[in-house]
A and B are shown apart, each in its own frame.
Chain A
């Protein structure tokens, strides 16, 4: 898909490290399809600036000095569901990425990526989320896999449990197949794969909330 034919995507950036911020900003500016509309050096500024409105894509560093990047992601995800959030991570490791997905992020951006990768990643996220790593796909599969098979599942559990098709998609991704290959293997379109992934992300967020409620119940915080 050619970047210049698509409508311009607005991007905001939250990153405390000056050099990284500058580099990311120049990467974004280098892409004609992207427009950098705001830069924030810390979480407090970001929360204030993003209260009333949000861009199409928000890049947020997880390791902010004042407010956690996850907090910013959660804040924006709750207020502006239309905003796609990418967290910035050095390693893209499972724990951080899963937490980000649960906070409402749609993917992550590796610090130190090549410039054209950033454009890819942002484009990916507009299409349905950045590519899930096989490790994370496997982890999501484990976390959302319903106990027992689909036939005995209760309908109200479907808010957090994977359907069989969703499970198949995650399984393929966890084995290293790309979205296109996955779509081909399952006889569906790439767009459908993206749709399924969006649904899976939502389930993950809901799951994390119910798990939090469960935890809180267990600890006696909620009566």
Chain B
């Protein structure tokens, strides 16, 4: 309940200020005299029915009935020095519709320039200069003609006669506290309201901003009756205007507080608006005498509503009581107290000269709600920030998941490729190395093979294996490298055979789609043809040549050896396997040979299909 403590401290400070403002620096405080009900403009004679009266005189309490007129006469004594000095007349409140001040029967001023206090919820102080020419040493009499509406709590405060500028100083103090503060608050409310309205235009969904704007502008509008000096509203609108100045902010403010607390009470809010409209209508139709009743009931009702709202707010808002909530609760407590103070004055329960304090709730509530909105804004920003971080986290997590999935897919793809490759190598081993070894084993077992033959065939098997390994190297389908590699692998055999070797390989295109299987097949064909020429042809010259022929490649292995007749060639020379391998590649092998005329083996490969 820290805020209650703060609130009461503030009230005490205000009260202390008010007391200090009434510090009696005056020569005379006129608080006793006589009164006579008297409608004439002229001073009533001494034999009129004067009755003793003491000030302040609140007509609501002393003569409650319709509009009345009457005269006060207030005697005071001056020393000769006091009578020669200029004086000023000061009244804490402009408390009646009309006031005419006379000193010793001479008119010194009135309240005309300030308009009708009935239209306002409170009244400014009054000050009037009194010329020393009107004063005399000894007994003087001040006469005041008053026309007042008792129902609007009109009447007469004490009258203070000060030396020199004393009265004016008092007047200015009271004016600052009572009136200037009000203008300041109204100006602040006007700015806040316009600002909130501008924000609301951008963010239509935020009704709190809207109600904040409406409430603040209603507070600002309450300053309107103070512009009477320049603008006097037509008589028929004075009632509603007075009502509006007093109560227009109440309903929006209550709704605003509900919204800030995150609540909606459609029924209660409807009642509130109907009640407000009813008040406005009554103020229109009732004459001045009825206005007091309207103000009484509506003040009590709004105060009660504010009080109920406060209780409900404090009791219901169980969770998450942030500082902004307590600030608002504190401001509302103060608003209740200040309005209760003014209501007590209205009911005549406290000093008639008391300040009107209700408007001091404007800056408090303005600040509290502004703080709430700002707090909410920053919490929203923080929430967005948190959400962003969380979202980023989630995105990163998703990315990781996707990466993991991708890795899994890649792994599966790799496994598949590996399996395919394994299968291919198995097939190669089976066809090539495997069958070579099996054949060799057979001949070793049967004892047919001589040792040099075994060595040669083992060597061939190793060569086979090396070619298979070479076929796995990434040559990117470079056919020149493919052929070059066969020569490289056969280097020993070529050199030891003693033939003249001719390498007529052109720059060949690269075929990126060439598979290891096709590479191996081409190498085997060339290897086999070359081996035949070296081993069996007894040739002097062996030539490997290539030729591009449109979209087909032609690889020739020729020798000038003994040749053979193709029709009676033994199957052991592997010509059929050459043809099979070429078919597997989509190409074909052409073998031209005849007895004594050498051999040409020509491999034709379609380049677009391999």
Contact = CB atoms under 8 A, between A and B. Distances in A.
A181 interface: yes
B459 interface: yes
B514 interface: no
Contact of B481 (A113, A135, A178): A135
Interface string A118-155: 00100000000001011100100000000000000000
B348 to A, nearest CB: 88
Contacts of B488: 131, 133-134, 176
Contacts of A174: 478, 480-481, 484
A154 B504 CA distance: 37
Interface stretch (B183-191, B206-214, B336-344, B462-470): B462-470
Contacts of A177: 484, 503, 505
A2 interface: no
A114 B480 contact: no
Contacts of B495: 120
Contact of B462 (A112, A120, A175): A112
B475 interface: yes
Interface residues of B, number: 24
B481 A116 contact: no
A133 B503 CA distance: 15
Interface in B468-506: 469-470, 473, 475, 478, 480-481, 483-488, 491-492, 495-496, 503, 505
A176 B469 contact: no
Nearest to B501: A178
Nearest to A133: B488
B390 interface: no
A177 B486 CA distance: 11
Interface stretch (A21-29, A64-72, A86-94, A191-199): A86-94
Nearest to B486: A176
Given A93-B473, A131-B491, A175 B466 contact: no
Contacts of B484: 134, 173-177
Contact of A91 (B469, B496, B505): B469
Nearest to B482: A134
B576 interface: no
Interface residues of A, number: 23
- Residue among B481, B486, B487 with most chain A CB within 10 A: B481
Given A175-B481, A175-B505, A94 B473 contact: yes
Contact of A117 (B466, B483, B485, B492): B492
A176 B503 CA distance: 8
Given A175-B507, A176-B503, A138 B469 contact: no
Nearest to B466: A91
A120 B491 CA distance: 11
A92 B473 CA distance: 11
A37 B248 CA distance: 117
Given A176-B483, A176-B484, A176-B487, A112 B459 contact: yes
Contact of B485 (A110, A135, A178, A181): A135
Interface in A62-121: 91-94, 110, 112-114, 116-117, 120
Question: Which 8 residue pairs of A and B lie closest in terms of their CB atoms, listed nearest first?
Answer: A176-B484, A134-B484, A175-B480, A176-B487, A91-B469, A134-B481, A133-B488, A94-B473
Interface of B: 459, 462, 465-466, 469-470, 473, 475, 478, 480-481, 483-488, 491-492, 495-496, 503, 505, 507
22 contacts: A91-B466, A94-B473, A110-B466, A112-B459, A112-B462, A113-B492, A114-B496, A117-B492, A120-B495, A133-B485, A133-B488, A134-B480, A138-B475, A138-B478, A138-B481, A174-B481, A175-B507, A176-B487, A176-B488, A177-B484, A177-B505, A181-B503
Given A91-B466, A93-B473, A138-B475, 5 more contacts: A93-B470, A112-B459, A135-B475, A175-B483, A178-B503
